[in-house]
Each structure stands twice: as C-alpha cells, then as structure tokens.
Amino acid sequence: MIKVEGLSKRYGRTLAVDNISFEVQKGQIVGFLGPNGAGKTTTMRILTCFLPPTAGTAQVAGYDVVNQPLEVKKRVGYLPENPPLYPEQDVEGYLTFVGKLKGLRSAELKARIDEACERCAIADVRKVIVGKLSKGYRQRVGLAQAIIHNPEVLVLDEPTSGLDPKQIIETRTLIKNLAGEHTIILSTHILPAVEQVCEQVIVIDKGKLVTIDSLANLTQRVQGAEAVVLEIEGRDDTLDAAQAQRRLELISGVSRVVLQEAARGCFIFEVLGQAGRSIRAEVGRAVLDAGWRLHQLRPAARNLEEVFLELTKGEKETGSGDDK
C-alpha cells in the first residue's frame, strides 16, 4: 500500500531524511518510531504530498507522490502533529468544510460526518465552536477530519501527544478499531503507544532507517535479558545499600545490580539477569530470606531511549570498529 524507495529530504544544509526505504502492506498498522528530530514528520509530510522529496520515490495506494499528488491526496487521511483546526468554526461546520475539500457531497457527506463523529466520540460537541474545545476533543476532531473521506491510508503524526492517560487509551482503542479497513502509519516517540497498537515498527534516527521489524522481534532483540525493578526497605533502618547490592548479586542468574535511588532507608535497584534466565522468582525469594520489606518487584519497562541506545549501539560498534 505504501512503498518508499531511497527517500531523502534536505533542508538547506541539513539532511532530514537520508535514503529511507520501506514498504507497508494493506491493512497494517505501522509505528514510526524515533526521537524528536529523527525525520518522522518530514517523512509523513512527503507521504501526504505536503513536501516533495529531494531524492527517491514514494508511492501511496499505487500512485506516485510527486507525479500524481491529487490521486494520492484523495486516498490519504492526514492528522498533523497539531490538528489543523479553524477555531472560529463549529465542529460540524469544520467537518463539512473538510469533507467538501475531500470531494464528498450532500447525502454522502452527511453520512460520513455522522460516522466520523460517532467513531471519534465527538457527537456530543458537534455544535460547539472548535476554539472552545479541550485538547483531547481537538485531537479527536483532528482524527475525525482525517477519516472523513474513508481514506485507504491514514497518516497520523503523534496522535496521542498532549493527551491525558484516559484520552490516550481511548485514542489507541479508536486507532485499533480503524485498522483493517485502513492502512495506518502513526508516529510516536513513546514506546508503549506502539506496543499496544502496532504490528510493525519502523525505527528511524537522525534521518536514517535503523530497523524495520515486527514488535515481538524487536522487544526480544532489545530485551535479551530480563530486567526487574526492585524496591526494598530494611526492617530496622540498618540496611545499607552496598550490603544489599552484594547480597542481590549473589542470587543465581543475576548478572548485574544497579542502585537507582536511595531514600529514607528505601532502595530501588535494577536487577539484570543473565540472558535467557528468568530471575523474578529468585529475586523475590532472596528478599524474603533476607528479611527485607518488599515494596515493589516489577519488570523494568524499557523506554524508547534505551531501545535506541540498544539499536544504535550495534551500528556504532560495527561502524567504528577500527577505533578499538
């Protein structure tokens, strides 16, 4: 459905996107992952025909973004990072305007507005002026705008940014429900957002493609060894960190223990296991045996920064091998 080959985009002297190639199959949800400034937005803008590429080609729904932009635009719904709203219009007026721009007319337009409102849960604010809506509602109106013409491809730039946790969950469910009929590309720099929604992940950094993989493979590659976060407290304020750390390191299967925080007799450690070994049960038993109070024991959530370190580390090592 989307085919990108050797895509590059240069702004003056900076290369925002550097020779990226990937393909997205029909009906897939693909997460576009990268830190700020990685080139996510630029790539999405090229796919939506907002910007022309400097080099390379991109095809969306079988049409070239440079040579057949009108055909591409008809088949793409786009939610930019800031929802493109006119604060003076009411929600219905806005959706009518966008629907007409996308080529919908009369009865069909009405039906599509009803459906988009229902799907994005904005039916209760249809008559409200857009400028008076909360951030969460604005985001949903933006999403409604993107799906108004029932496009084959949806491009969503940071659809959950700036939302509160409840709204994030709602938006995620909404996006999941949209999958199947639509091919979706969404960008984010928050890993959980991808975990819950996407089947395929494209990681880019500094304009370069780092990896394309399914989410399961990716997490496995990154998390070769189990890591847990452990918070303990001594029974009578006599526990010191070094002592506890030593004791934890002795547990079988543990490779490394890192003290993360110490406050008022409480310690938070990150305990890393050896590759392929499950250590949670062992750690739990050791804590009880030592007579410490156990405050929490949970798998360490890998955030994107770590994934990046992990993913880009490999490249750097092979790339700068002769330094060593």
Partner 1 sequence: MRNIWTIWRKELKIYFVSPIAYHLLAFTAVVFGFFFTVATAIFVSRGMQSMRMGTMMPMDVNEWVIRPLLMNISVIGLFVTPMISMRLFAEEKFAGTIELLMTSPVRDLEVILGKWLGALTLYASLLGVSAINLALLFFYGQPDWKPILVGYLGLLLQGGCLLAIGAFISTMTRNQIVAALITFDLCLLLWVFDWVSAYEFAGWARVMSYISVLTHFEPFAKGVLDSKDVLFYVTFIFLGLFLTARSLESLRWRA
Question: What are the residues binding partner 1 (CB under 8 A)?
Answer: 11, 45, 48-52, 70, 73-74, 76, 78, 80-82, 84-89, 93, 97-98, 100-103, 145
267-270 own/partner pairs: CB under 8 Å, 24+ apart? 267/231, 267/232, 267/233, 267/239, 267/241, 268/229, 268/230, 268/231, 269/229, 269/230, 269/231, 269/232, 269/244, 269/245, 270/227, 270/228, 270/229, 270/230, 270/300
Q: Are the CB atoms for 32 and 202 separated by under 8 Å?
A: yes
Shortest reach from residue 304's CB to partner 1, in Å: 25
Shortest reach from residue 80's CB to partner 1, in Å: 5
Query: How far, in Å, CA of 94 to CA of 34, rounded?
Result: 32
Shortest reach from residue 32's CB to partner 1, in Å: 17
Residue number with CB closer to partner 1 (81 or 213): 81
Residue number with CB closer to partner 1 (88 or 317): 88
Shortest reach from residue 85's CB to partner 1, in Å: 7
Shortest reach from residue 134's CB to partner 1, in Å: 17
Cα–Cα distances in angstroms (integers) from residue 225 to residues 79, 270, 271, in the given order: 38, 12, 10
Shortest reach from residue 66's CB to partner 1, in Å: 11
Shortest reach from residue 87's CB to partner 1, in Å: 8
Residue number with CB closer to partner 1 (60 or 287): 60
Query: How far, in Å, CA of 132 to CA of 139, rounded?
Result: 13
Shortest reach from residue 21's CB to partner 1, in Å: 22
**Which residue carries 């790339």 as its tokens?**
319
Query: How far, in Å, CA of 45 to CA of 50, rounded?
Result: 5
Q: Are the CB atoms for 98 and 148 separated by under 8 Å?
A: yes
Query: How far, in Å, CA of 257 to CA of 227, rounded?
Result: 10
Neighbouring C-alpha atoms within 13 Å toward the C-beta of 96: 10
Residue number with CB closer to partner 1 (70 or 263): 70
Residue number with CB closer to partner 1 (98 or 116): 98
Q: Are the CB atoms for 165 and 192 separated by under 8 Å?
A: no
Residue number with CB closer to partner 1 (31 or 151): 151
Residue number with CB closer to partner 1 (9 or 189): 9
Shortest reach from residue 110's CB to partner 1, in Å: 16
Show the DSSP H helices in the chain as ranges: 40-47, 69-75, 91-101, 106-119, 135-147, 165-178, 191-197, 215-222, 241-249, 280-290, 304-319
